Amino acid sequence: MARGGPGVRWHARELVDRLARHSPARLALGVFGSVIAIITLALWTPWATVTGERAPFVDALFTATSATTVTGLVTVPTGEYWSTWGLVVILVAIKIGGLGVMTLASLLGLAVSRRLGLTQRLLVSSETKFTRLGEVGSLVNTVIITSTAFEVAIALILLPRFHMYEEDWGEAAWHSIFYGISAFNNAGFVPTPEGLDPYVSDWWVLLPIIVGVFVGSLGFPVILNLVGHLREPRRWNLHSKLTITTSLALVVFGSVLVAAFEWTNPDTFKPLDWAGTILASLFAGVMPRSGGFSTVDVGEMHEGTWLLMDALMFAGGGSASTAGGIKVTTLAVMLLAIVAEARGDRDVEAFGRRIPREALQVAIAVSLVSATFVLISSLLLLAMTGETLDVVLFEVISAFATCGLSTGLTPELPDSGKYVLTVLMFIGRTGTMTLAAALALRNRRRVIRLPEERPIIG
């Protein structure tokens, strides 16, 4: 037995290395699923709830998946149902999910061995979509330093303000830390029953959360590029420029339209003064891109606002970020392709660069596969609940885009519906193309190319 132990460990390590080299996507999905399983077991313990009774397994699994995928959808009220231990478990899951499972594993490996091996670099590259293996080490450092710095900064800004709301320093510190981590990681979880509703007009509380959500949604490759060339915008790469410009455009577009739709709604924006309405509009324009926080009752918004938020949630945030959706660069590439086709241009171009056709093919594939998952899930929930399409579609897109906004349907779902959203959150976080690569049986490499013939389109 003594001689067999090291041998078993060596074979296990060899298997992991082989998977990392030949199918990192499958290994990433396996590890991500394992983390969710561990968090589920932690939340399934009796001391994870306020009552001391074991939570139903479906609620523990749903909450664990929602926290690890940094979604924010809940089947039970977070601040009322879970104990302090349960909230700590949720916060740890958010931090792991925001950093990325493979990034965290690489950080631990770096702490132990003082270096990143090829296997760890391949895993981080698979998870973060970062192709230059030589810079993976700097990417990991940037991920840790940036995320922690922003979380601490948000917490420090919120701390005195929460104390002013008659919270003692310990309670204010706990809430500040929770919101700091939840905001930057686009998780949308709140530690109190009332959430952010009492601060609907408070710029001191909401503005740091808005900034944290926006920066977190840009993606770590963008942050790394900006940190390296902060004062030289001309040296920003194409991905960074597309992500930043498209993200800003979506924020402005979303905020203006939400304000237009909800300005006279007596259940949302009408009771607010003009400054409060501007803040609420900006907040509601940023959060559908995967933040998941809300200061007004989303269920009381107009159906037109829901449809707008559906579009914003489906677009999501930046690649390799804490946000979900099809990603803003996917949207940007498809829009640029439409413009190029309308102009009769042969190439798709942006910021003085030509975008390869392969990028457009991937963008189309991601969009269609994502839409297919949303369609199938919507059909399932329609059959399970008997609810109207607008409510079901909002909940489904929120789960797939790991956003967390809700009309109030999720807590009322039957167990079968909760399992559907659980799978959808997992797919949305790990990525449709990662899932496709993990399930692929082989990679086709064809030497012979067939003759070209153009079908009629449109």
pLDDT tens, residue by residue, 350-376: 999 999 988 888 889 889 999 999 999
Give the predicted TM-score (pTM) of the model. Answer: 0.87
pLDDT tens, residue by residue, 186-237: 999 999 989 999 999 999 999 999 999 999 898 877 887 887 787 788 888 8
Query: What residues contact residue 305 under an 8 Å CB cut-off, 6+ apart?
Result: 258, 261, 262
Alpha-carbon span 456 to 323, nearest angstrom = 37
Alpha-carbon span 188 to 179, nearest angstrom = 9
pLDDT at residue 434, rounded to an integer = 64
Average pLDDT over the chain reads 84
Alpha-carbon span 45 to 37, nearest angstrom = 13
Rounded to an integer, the average pLDDT of 309-320 is: 92
Query: What residues contact residue 370 under an 8 Å CB cut-off, 6+ apart?
Result: 314, 325, 326, 400, 432
Closest listed residue to residue 105, CA positions, set 94, 91, 119, 87: 119
pLDDT at residue 435, rounded to an integer = 59
Largest distance between two CA atoms of the chain: 75
278 has pLDDT over 50:
yes
CA 7 to centroid of chain Cα atoms = 39
Look up residue 38 and give its two tokens: 């561990």
Q: Supply φ then ψ for residue 22, to 5 degrees.
A: -100, -25
Regarding predicted confidence, which is higher, 254 or 229?
254
Alpha-carbon span 207 to 215, nearest angstrom = 12
Alpha-carbon span 93 to 39, nearest angstrom = 7
The conformational region for residue 236 under phi > 0 = left, psi -120 to 50 = alpha, else beta, is: beta
Alpha-carbon span 448 to 425, nearest angstrom = 40
Residue type at 348 in one-letter notation = V
Regarding predicted confidence, which is higher, 183 or 453?
183
22 has pLDDT over 60:
no
CA distances from 59 to 1, 114, 190, 392, 422 (A): 41, 40, 17, 19, 10
Alpha-carbon span 74 to 59, nearest angstrom = 8
Alpha-carbon span 141 to 99, nearest angstrom = 11
CB atoms within 10 A of CB 110: 17
Regarding predicted confidence, which is higher, 141 or 11?
141
Alpha-carbon span 255 to 153, nearest angstrom = 25
pLDDT tens, residue by residue, 64-78: 999 999 999 999 999
Alpha-carbon span 348 to 355, nearest angstrom = 5
